[in-house]
């Protein structure tokens, strides 16, 4: 059975813009996020409080986040790798954070300058302090299916780190197919294994990149398994600066088109969202890679 409603966790302003070669002006980011919220998205990831040298595209987080204060009723999570990032986010009143771990050692080293276990130790006080403050915590887990340096990633390796993130106290887990190599059978195998190990499906979201064109099929496989939180990025923006071969995320418009066809509610106004992606593509100077954006905007 498919769910009646899906919550879309919009990541375009973070996962999308972190990967742009050009630095997008802060006022454009602020307008982008306002427009995403106005299109009916209820969770719009805003930015990252990471080291500005590691992700220069998001170095304006202190300037951007206060510009979003007038957005009511929409969750605006931010990425936080360590206590320094948490201090920065809490100082601006952030109420939702995300830590981001890796299922593989190579990516943990490249993305966080830590081993997998060292990064979990780095997250521990972050999650503990956030929970004490009643701040909602998402735990991202990258390289759940394949890793560009290590190849296919064994399911048990993913399950170990997923459980460790939940044991730290994360409220939800997002399973990242960082480089977009997952296929639907692999998705269902991982979800079943996580359930068997006690990670509940209602705490799991899926985060697919569309490198091999499998993101929608993978999403449908996850929905059939009972998942109701799906990450996507407006216009299919995205990638990861520390993972070669990662292309854009599943495009939010492609996701909404499929969900509407299945009679699944999202609350998103597809025309308003498409117009936003067309507008942003003009700002970036190149067309959106989303098939749905192209189909709906060439009329
Ligand atoms: P490090 O070099 O090991 O940092 O980097 P450190 O702990 O040794 O600290 C060195 C200096 O950095 C210190 O300053 C710290 O204060 C400062 P000093 O005392 O020398 O003057 N510092 C900071 N400054 C500002 N904000 C901070 C911060 N932390 C330390 N938060 C670190 C470790 C984690 C900081 C670094 O590796 C980093 O920032 N990494 C972020 C990488 C990133 O953002 N990647 C993209 C997001 S993940 C992703 O896209 C995947 C996802 O979409 C899911 C999927 O697709 O799989 C989520
Ligand atoms: Mg990602």
**pLDDT (tens digit per residue) in 239-295:** 666 666 668 899 999 999 999 999 999 999 999 999 999 999 999 988 899 999 999
Q: Which of 50, 240, 243, 255 is catalytic?
A: 240
The span from the CA of 31 to the CA of 12, in Å, is 13
pLDDT confidence of residue 239: 64
Cα of 88 to ligand 1 centre, how many Å?
12
The pick from 10, 15, 46, 51 for probing ligand 1's pocket by mutation, whose C-beta has the most ligand atoms within 8 angstroms, reads 51
DSSP bridge pairs for 75: 43
Q: Taking the model in full, what pTM does it have?
A: 0.97
Closest by CA to 4, choosing from 265, 269, 224, 268, is 265
Angle between helices 155-168 and 184-196 (to 10 degrees): 50
58 in ligand 1 pocket by Cβ < 6 Å?
no
The span from the CA of 101 to the CA of 285, in Å, is 33
Q: Are residues 288 and 278 in contact, defined by beta-carbon separation less than 8 angstroms?
A: yes
The verdict on ipTM greater than 0.95 is yes
Question: If you take atom 43 of ligand 1, which residue's CA is the nearest one?
Answer: 111
Q: Are residues 129 and 83 in contact, defined by beta-carbon separation less than 8 angstroms?
A: yes
Mean pLDDT of the chain: 96
Place of tokens 């480089």: 179
Cα of 138 to ligand 2 centre, how many Å?
13
């Amino acid at each position: 059975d498919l769910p009646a409603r899906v919550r879309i966790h919009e990541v375009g302003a973070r996962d999308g813009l972190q990967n742009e070669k050009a630095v997008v002006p802060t006022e454009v980011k602020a307008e982008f996020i306002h427009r995403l919220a106005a299109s009916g998205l209820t969770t719009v990831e805003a930015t990252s409080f990471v080291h500005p040298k590691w992700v220069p595209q998001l170095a304006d987080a202190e300037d951007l986040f206060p510009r979003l204060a007038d957005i009511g009723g929409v969750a605006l999570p931010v990425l936080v790798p360590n206590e320094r990032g948490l201090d920065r986010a809490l100082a601006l009143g952030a109420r939702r954070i995300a830590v981001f771990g890796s299922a593989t050692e190579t990516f943990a080293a490249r993305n966080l300058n830590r081993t997998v276990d060292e990064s979990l130790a780095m997250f521990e006080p972050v999650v503990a302090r956030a929970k004490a403050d009643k701040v909602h915590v998402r735990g991202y887990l990258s390289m759940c299916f394949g890793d560009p340096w290590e190849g296919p990633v064994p399911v048990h390796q993913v399950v170990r780190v997923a459980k460790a993130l939940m044991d730290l106290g994360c409220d939800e887990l997002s399973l990242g197919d960082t480089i977009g190599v997952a296929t639907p059978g692999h998705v269902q195998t991982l979800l079943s294994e996580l359930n068997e190990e006690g990670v509940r499906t209602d705490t799991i979201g899926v985060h697919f990149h569309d490198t091999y064109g499998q993101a929608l099929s993978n999403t449908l496989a996850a929905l059939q398994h009972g998942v109701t939180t799906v990450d996507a990025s407006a216009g299919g923006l995205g990638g990861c600066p520390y993972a070669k071969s990662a292309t854009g995320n599943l495009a939010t418009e492609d996701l909404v088109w499929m969900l509407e066809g299945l009679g699944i509610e999202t609350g998103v106004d597809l025309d308003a969202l498409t117009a936003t992606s067309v507008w942003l593509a003009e700002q970036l100077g190149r067309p959106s890679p989303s098939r749905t954006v192209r189909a709906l905007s060439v009329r």
